[in-house]
Amino acid sequence: MPESLKNLINMISFLPWIWEKSATKLAFFLLHSNKNYLENFREALVDIKENIWYCAKCHCLLDKWKKLCNICSDENRNQNSIIIVEEYLDMLSIEQTWAYKGTYHILWWAISPVNWVFVWDLNFESLFKRIENSDNKVEIILATNPNIEWEATSSYIKEEISSRALKHKTKITRLSRWLSAWYIEYADNMTLISAIKERKEI
């Protein structure tokens, strides 16, 4: 087999959820694709590294030339309600339900010292700034995944809000236990809608 084809198969095998056999099939698909498609494919790959940035407020993914995402800049959305999620995909899952009209804050990690993820790796400071700078009481909705990392992350947020004297302007809730066995990304719409509607203050 030519070296360049072997190399392509290796690169594809590195992707998650791809078995070696599928990697070979995909490599042959690309080999037989027309040059235009491959050129566009290459450009799209370069593009995701060069032209994607983060929203200055909620840290969701954004085209690099924009400062704020559509949600953070929308006056019709309740800017005093913030759902805290780990991943951008979690935010997209909640948005797909059309049941929530507030904003988000993406931490991009959950605290996990065993995996070398510490407090300073997460977008906490900008979250506390958002609460501090708000003229109104803010509701923080913890959209936690069912694992110990998220328990630690939720506890940290609660403790910091108390120690920074932000308690009087913060209401902390968490999605209801409907969701307890589910990761947000995999939960169906009805489960998510119920979890948001029946959120509990903690």
Q: Is 58 in the site for Zn ion (CB under 5 A)?
A: yes
Write the binding mask 10 to 49 for Zn ion: x where contact by CB under 5 A, - elsewhere.
----------------------------------------
Q: Is 130 in the site for Zn ion (CB under 5 A)?
A: no
Stretch that binds Zn ion, among 8-16, 50-58, 108-116, 169-177 (CB under 5 A): 50-58
| Identified binder of Zn ion from the candidate list 27, 69, 138, 175, rule CB under 5 A | 69
| Closer residue to Zn ion, CB minimum distance, 57 or 174 | 57
Strands (E), 18-142: 52-54, 61-63, 78-85, 102-106, 138-142
CA–CA gap between residue 94 and residue 100 (Å, rounded): 7
Q: What one-character DSSP code corresponds to residue 168?
A: G
Report the nearest approach of Zn ion to the CB of residue 3 (Å).
Answer: 45
Report the nearest approach of Zn ion to the CB of residue 71 (Å).
Answer: 5
Q: Is 55 in the site for Zn ion (CB under 5 A)?
A: yes
CA–CA gap between residue 147 and residue 143 (Å, rounded): 12
| Closer residue to Zn ion, CB minimum distance, 103 or 170 | 103
Stretch that binds Zn ion, among 30-38, 58-66, 150-158, 165-173 (CB under 5 A): 58-66
Tell me the C-alpha to C-alpha distance, in Å, between residue 105 and each of 24, 45, 58, 84, 121: 40, 26, 4, 5, 14
Q: Is 106 in the site for Zn ion (CB under 5 A)?
A: no
Classify 103 as helix, strand or coil: strand
| Closer residue to Zn ion, CB minimum distance, 69 or 195 | 69
Whats the size of the chain, residue-wise? Answer: 202
Asked whether the CA dihedral 200, 88, 86, 164 is positive or negative, the reply is negative
Stretch that binds Zn ion, among 71-79, 87-95, 166-174, 183-191 (CB under 5 A): 71-79
Tell me the β-bridge partners of 78: 102
Gyration radius of the chain's alpha carbons? 21
Classify 67 as helix, strand or coil: coil
Q: Residues interacting with Zn ion, by CB under 5 A?
A: 55, 57-58, 69, 72
